[in-house]
Structure 1
Amino acid sequence: HLDGLSDTADAWLGGLGDRERTLAIMKDPCAGPAGVVAVVLVLLLKFAALTAAPGLFLLLAVFLGRVVLVLLFVTTPYVRPGGMGERLAASDRKALVGVAVTVAPLLLLWPVPTALALILAGLVFVYQRQRLIRRLGGTTGDTAGAMVEWTEAAIIATLVLIGT
């Protein structure tokens, strides 16, 4: 997912608001400066969290990052025919039931951190999904990977900062 973050960061800045240019930059196998900076910042944040946060926070962030990935694929048009994520995007909405069944017990076992993490994941999802639809008309495998990283980073940073 870090590769998707790198490609998305490069394309977002280099695409200058143009859909086709943004998509073309994402396909370029080279990492640009924006991508490198994005990856380094996320890795530094995660490394710092490893020393400051209980392991359950990290598991919660990783889990919810994948939940957001499923939500993105089943609720957002996939804009790159033949891309690696196309098959996931074509899946039906039954995955949403699986997500709900999996998240519900977490709320019962660990209510405050889980509720806060769910709210953060939801905010990141809604905001970034809206930006993806506005710029690209939907999502790609790269932007889905970036969504995972954005979600994890937001949850980890917030839970560590508030010391839950």
Structure 2
Amino acid sequence: MMRALLVAIGFLTRLPVPASVFDDARAQSRSLAWYPLVGAIVGGLLCLLAWPLQHAPPLLSAVLLLVAWVCLTGALHLDGLADSADAWIGGLGDRERTLTIMKDPRSGPAGVVALVLVLLLKFAALASLPAPAWIALLLAPLLARAALTLAFLSTPYARSGGIGRALVDAPRAAAIVALLAGAAACALADWRGALALAVAALIFLLWRQACLRRLQGMTGDTCGALAEITEAGVLVALALSY
């Protein structure tokens, strides 16, 4: 159990974990159930940073929080967002062409624009939220990682290989319990928690439908894009709620 949590932490963040945990195939598969908790850990660390920044100028505080957010996660999902944007535009509706472009490590104009727009949305939302914005900082990363767990439970994997292949056969019961726990956390955050959950669910349904239509499934890159879009959507919705 602990090894699976360490795998999830090591994969989704830049927090140090023993390298040996990644040699355990069973732990890699079981790590999916821990994704929402890792999102909560990311959110908790952001809240720790937000505490001393609550009296700083809002724009400066938002920039520092966003930089910390990106550094903490290693820009893992931002890379998936850029690859997905390039592939969606350049793929011209063709499945194989879209998958091929996703493999290209270079970022094209569409990928760069997607990164800039999502980061701008996050920055603007963070700057607009009343400090220290505990609910937004906790729920945005939690729901984004919960969306990844749900994606692997409910959506076919579009590639024969890839870093996400080990998660396809993850134990379902533990993952479902983790998703229910994430939903319960939203319920504890008054009506704004329900709003965040609703926005995350809507984004998930729309993106899953788009992936099924184009790819007949999802990939690691589309999951990265899902996480980034979910975080941005939840932050924007919560900022607009005040």
Q: TM range, normalised to the smaller chain? A: over 0.9
Instruction: Give per-residue Cα distances to partners, 1:75-130, cap 9 Å, x unaligned.
Output: 100011220111112213220122102321430x2120110111111111111101
**Structure 1 residue ranges without an equivalent (≥5):** none
User: 1:100 aligns to what?
Assistant: 180
Q: Which amino acid aligns with 1:162?
A: S
Question: What TM-score do the two structures reach when normalised by structure 1?
Answer: 0.94
**Are 1:47 and 2:126 an aligned pair?**
no
Cα pair 1:10 1:32 within 8 Å, conserved: yes
Which residue is 1:120 aligned to?
199
Between 1:28-37 and 1:48-57, the stretch displaced more is 48-57
| Residue from 194, 197, 214 that aligns with 1:135 | 214
Partner of 1:14: 90
1:80-99 alignment runs, 5 A limit? 80-94=159-173, 95-99=175-179
2:234 maps to amino acid? I
**Which residue identity does 1:145 align to in structure 2?**
G
Which residue of structure 2 lines up, in the alignment, with residue 70 of structure 1?
149
| 1:149-160 superposed matches below 5 A | 149-160=228-239
The one-letter code matched in structure 1 to 2:118 is V
Could you report, residue by residue, the CA deviation over 1:44-95 in whole angstroms, capped at 9, with x for unpaired residues?
A: 1112222222132122111101111100011100011220111112213220
User: Does the Cα contact within 8 Å between 2:186 and 2:197 map onto a contact in 1?
Assistant: no
- Between the aligned partners of 1:90 and 1:81, the Cα distance in structure 2 is 13
Letter in 2 for 1:55: W
The answer to whether the Cα contact below 8 Å between 1:74 and 1:92 also exists between their aligned partners in 2 is no
Contact 1:4 1:143 in 2 (8 A): yes
The residue number in structure 1 matching 2:103 is 27
Determine the C-alpha separation between the residues in 2 that align with 1:158 and 1:29.
32
CA distance in 1, matches of 2:134, 2:116: 21
Partner secondary structure for residue 125 of structure 1: helix
* Secondary structure at the counterpart of residue 101 of structure 2: helix
Comparing 41-50 with 117-126, greater Cα deviation is found at: 41-50
Give unmatched runs, 5+ long, in structure 2: 1-76
Task: Work out which of the two has the higher radius of gyration on C-alpha atoms and give 1 or 2.
Answer: 2
Determine which structure has greater relative contact order: mean sequence separation of CA pairs < 8 Å that are 6+ residues apart, divided by chain length: 1
Give, as a single letter, the amino acid of the residue that structure 1 aligns with 2:117. Answer: L
Q: Is the 8 A contact 1:68 1:147 kept in 2?
A: yes
- Tell me how far apart the structure 1 counterparts of residues 211 and 194 of structure 2 sit (CA, whole Å): 25
The answer (yes or no) to whether the contact 1:10–1:31 under 8 Å persists in 2 is: yes
Aligned length: 162
Please give the root-mean-square deviation of Cα atoms over the aligned residues, in Å.
1.2
